[in-house]
Structure 1
Amino acid sequence: MENPSLLSFIEYLQIEKNCSRYTIEHYTQDINEFLLFMSEQGIKNLQVVEYFDARLFLTKLYEKNLSKRSVARKTSCLRSFYKFMMREEIVAENPFALVSLPKKDQMLPRFMYEEELNKLFSSLDKDTPLGLRDSAILELLYATGIRVSECCEIKMQDIDFSMGTILIHGKGKKDRYAPLGGFAKDAVQSYIKEAREVLHKARNKTHSYLFVNFRGDPLTPRGVRYILSGLIKRATTDGSLHPHMLRHSFATHLLNNGADIRTVQELLGHSKISSTQIYTHVTKDQLRKVYNASHPRA
């Protein structure tokens, strides 16, 4: 049985905060993890949790070798949860209010070089409905830089082939239009014309989501990541490549070729330009490498 405070918090996230279902899933998982910790520690209810308990929970997280980013996310989630419960007068204090968030490791996003991308695109099998679908997913992600979760939310009516744009439903219910490049446009049209109906009607399913699985149901983010991971493994021996690098590559290649950062921010759907600026560090690093390798007196 779900905790009633958690159910109220989820309702608050859905109605007042307009959070996406993926954000709500993460919040629910993190809070349930804390509820399990409470049970293991013999803590009876949320009202009696103290600062010491919050610190002990963080210690347990570190013992699991979680990244600083994951620990910070879980801490922030529980801080928000208790802040909500204080507003609703469910609890008197927020035990996570004074818990400091761990400083996140400053990791530069890894991107794929053009040679790696060419190998990936050339490895595609376009002779089957699933192959055409996978090709469309790959081309679309690289052409637009959208998140995997955003890719799964695209519906048929969101695509305007005449204008060459797609309506993207981003984080926090923020919609934006993404331009559809020529390669992606051709791949998506081929998939819709030759593959989608085959997959869609195989199980007599009726929905308007663009990408479907072999059962005809809408593809999930987990399904897309599984597909992309398989494509990457078949195309390259580099085990460090992962699906999110398509988004990193999109941003990096645009900046390397002269796009201004505000445009890239808009295309990525970043609410803050600081989120986009990390890609300028990547491009500066790339420029330095090219300079050192090319200049006679570098």
Structure 2
Amino acid sequence: MNNYKLAKVYDQKGDLTKRWFVGYYFKHPENGKMVLFKAWLSTRFKTKAALYRKARELTENINNKLLNGYNPFQHENISFTCLIEALEKIVSLKKQYTRHRTALTYKCYLNNFIIWLKSANLTKITVESFNYQYAQQFADYLLTEKKVTNRTYNNYVEHFSTLFNELVKREYLLRNPFTKIKKLPEGDRRIFAYTNQELELLKNHFPKNNPELWLVIQLIFYCAIRPNEIVQLKIKHFDLVTKTILVPGYISKTRQTNTIRMPIPFYEYLITLDLKKYPDEFYLISKDLRPGEIKIWPTRIAEQFREECNKIGLDRKLYELKHTGAGLSIKNGANIRDVQLHLRHTNINTTEIYLRAFQGSTSNEFIQNFPEL
């Protein structure tokens, strides 16, 4: 004999003036008596049709848990946890095993989600009450009120789908309300690059006035290394014999270990820095942007770069140097596979965005060497 009775709807004989609930019985571990557990339906549902629809969903959710061994006397009654509290718990867990920047993104997205919940008077909504209709309302809010781009919209959908998958996995709810939210077409991501005149401004200013930042600039331009990776690279990761840079998986954006071949101009510059005089465990870019033992935040690099650019009237982002280096290599005839490997793109479709941005028509070499019929 089961120690529970499956959930069913208590509809108060159809009386809308009384509070409906879904109830199930579970045997008390000490006295053996069957105890009734109630999951009250929200008063937001004003019609019988809406109440029955929500009640069926909740009944299915509870019965699925009971059939899979759920015991309300042994486990926290997570079905009826406040949604905000549940998501904050998941984001906190994410922080333990995701990159710092990824964790910050989840936190930022959740904060905006909570702002929307407050505006919709849903701050007390429980996990099991949040359904597809609410998810779609939030998605619509992103477009109509926040006026986010299609790409940002898709990022929100992807991140919240991931968060709610974690809730499903932990049996907070039966199905993910964000899986039905359609992503929007993005089109090609815009690629911004420095002009030749802007590159001249960099070359005329930084080597003399801020050689430490000049090294960072070249790491991004020549080697396509991200600022967050740069501040974690150590002297030992630079091999002047093989002319390579090792980017370990634990600091890489993709979590994959990669070896980057140094373009000759950068290799020749790196030799002049005499890195051998520093301990292998020193960070290449540390306090004051010089080699040292202290790990710094990538924002420190961006701040100093902005300060220097203001001095020369340059309004550009540091990371756009990566796009610039890739674009110039394409214009110089680099093949797409080399560019993909150098930029460490896992998907060649991403690399093709650079091709379309920097090579809008067939090259002269292609036309001149086209085979005869």
Per the TM superposition, whether the score is higher than 0.5 is yes
State the match for 2:171 in structure 1: 89
1:1-298 alignment, distance < 5 Å: 3=85, 5-8=87-90, 11=93, 19-43=98-122, 44=124, 45-62=126-143, 63-124=145-206, 126=208, 131-169=210-248, 170-185=252-267, 187-188=269-270, 208-214=282-288, 217-237=294-314, 239=315, 241-285=316-360
Q: Distance in 1 between matches of 2:114 and 2:190?
A: 34
Contact 1:132 1:190 in 2 (8 A): no
167-176 vs 182-191, which deviates more? 182-191
Q: Distance in 2 between matches of 1:95 and 1:106?
A: 28
Cα pair distance change 1:52/1:140, threshold 3 Å: same
Greater relative contact order, per chain length (Cα 8 Å cut-off, separation 6+): 1
Q: What displacement does 1:5 show?
A: 4.7
Per residue, is there more strand in 1 or in 2? Answer: 2
Q: TM-score, normalised by structure 1?
A: 0.78
SS of the residue corresponding to residue 177 of structure 2 reads coil
Contact 2:90 2:163 in 1 (8 A): no
CA deviations 1:43-65 (Å, max 9, x no partner) are 32333212222222223323223
Q: Distance in 2 between matches of 1:180 and 1:125?
A: 19
257-266 vs 223-232, which deviates more? 223-232
CA deviations 1:194-230 (Å, max 9, x no partner) are xx98xxxxxxxxx732212339742322222223333
Unpaired runs of 5+ residues, structure 2, are 1-83, 364-373
CA deviations 1:214-249 (Å, max 9, x no partner) are 397423222222233334443445x3x322211111
Per residue, is there more helix in 1 or in 2? Answer: 1
Q: What displacement does 1:80 show?
A: 1.2
CA deviations 1:30-54 (Å, max 9, x no partner) are 1333234334433323332122222
Q: What displacement does 1:87 show?
A: 1.9
Q: Distance in 2 between matches of 1:35 and 1:208?
A: 42
Cα pair distance change 1:73/1:117, threshold 3 Å: same
Matched AA of 2:140: T
Matched AA of 2:185: K
SS of the residue corresponding to residue 245 of structure 2 reads strand
The structure whose Rg is larger is 2
Cα pair distance change 1:95/1:4, threshold 3 Å: closer
Cα pair distance change 1:8/1:60, threshold 3 Å: closer
SS of the residue corresponding to residue 115 of structure 1 reads helix
Cα pair distance change 1:140/1:30, threshold 3 Å: same
Cα pair distance change 1:9/1:190, threshold 3 Å: same
Q: What displacement does 1:134 show?
A: 0.6
Cα pair distance change 1:87/1:173, threshold 3 Å: same
Cα pair distance change 1:27/1:228, threshold 3 Å: same
Q: Distance in 1 between matches of 2:188 and 2:215?
A: 33
SS of the residue corresponding to residue 106 of structure 1 reads coil
Q: Distance in 1 between matches of 2:222 and 2:137?
A: 45
27-36 vs 251-260, which deviates more? 27-36
State the match for 1:204 in structure 2: none
Matched AA of 1:166: I
Q: Distance in 2 between matches of 1:123 and 1:285?
A: 32
State the match for 1:294 in structure 2: none
Contact 1:111 1:248 in 2 (8 A): yes
Q: Distance in 1 between matches of 2:242 and 2:283?
A: 20
Matched AA of 1:57: F
Q: TM-score, normalised by structure 2?
A: 0.63
Identity, in percent, stands at 19
Q: Distance in 1 between matches of 2:361 and 2:296?
A: 35
